[in-house]
Amino acid sequence: MIPEGDDRERLVCGSCGFVFYENPKIIVGAVCTWQDRYLLCRRAIEPRLGYWTMPMGYMELHETAEQGALREVWEEARARAEIDGLLAVYSLSEIGQVHLVYRARMLSGDCAPGPESLDVGLFAWEDVPWSELAFPNVRWCLEYERDVRGQDGFAPRGRPAG
């Protein structure tokens, strides 16, 4: 039914009138670098098991987006990093997700697979496993980070057209 004052169908409890709002999930992550190398994780979970990605996942309640991104870096790559700035925002309406991807510098070159990763690695640009990236946004973010590397006050990027 469409609740009064709303403009779309919602699930509404017939007994108490509670309206269930189904909203997009927020995904947080980071393009992490150590010197001139990029941190990537080989996924140990579906979707895209065995493919490479940057550390990213669902934002949790009671954390900021930045805290969530750093948590994901630790959970997936056992690495510590500091946020440099918001790199990109992707609104993926077809899958009901909004991605907030940060640029981050690792505090050391230490990293190891977390429970959701089969492997982790620090890759020079020419060694990034481009044909084995898990999702299109991984490529988008890596390429954009490279474009803005060394710039302060860069503008966050949205989803490429096309």
Q: What is the pLDDT of residues 11-47, one digit of tens each?
A: 999 899 899 989 999 999 999 999 999 999 999 999 9
Which residues on adjacent β-strands are paired with residue 120?
Answer: 41
Mean pLDDT of 77-92: 96
Can you give the pLDDT at residue 149?
Answer: 85
Per-residue pLDDT, 158 = 67
Is the pLDDT reported for residue 162 higher than 60? Answer: no
Instruction: Count CA within 13 A, CB hemisphere, residue 10.
Output: 17
108 in Cβ contact with 78 (< 8 Å)? no
For residue 70, report the phi and psi dihedrals to the nearest 5 degrees: -70, -35
Q: What's the pTM?
A: 0.87
What are the structure tokens assigned to 157, written together?
A: 């990027």
Contact indicator for 99, 27 with CB cutoff of 8 Å: yes
Name the burial class of residue 112, with classes exposed (0-12), middle (13-18) and buried (19+) by CB atoms within 10 angstroms of its CB: exposed
Strands (E), 5-116: 11-12, 19-20, 25-34, 37-43, 52-53, 56-58, 81-92, 97-106
> Which CATH number does 23-148 carry?
3.90.79.10
- At 150, the pLDDT band (50, 70, 90 cuts) reads confident
- Which two structure tokens, joined as six digits, stand for 44? 């140990």
Q: How far apart are CA 46 and CA 18, in angstroms?
A: 34
Report pLDDT for 49: 98
Q: What percent of the chain has pLDDT over 70?
A: 94
Whether pLDDT at 160 is above 80: no
pLDDT band for position 128 (cuts 50, 70, 90): very high
Length of the chain: 162
Tokens 């065995």 label which residue?
50
Q: Mean pLDDT of all residues in the chain?
A: 93
Mean pLDDT of 121-148: 96
Tokens of 81: 């990093």
| Residue 94: partners with Cβ closer than 8 Å, 6 or more residues away | none
125 pLDDT higher than 80: yes
Residue range 84-101: mean pLDDT, rounded: 95
% of residues, the chain, pLDDT over 90: 85
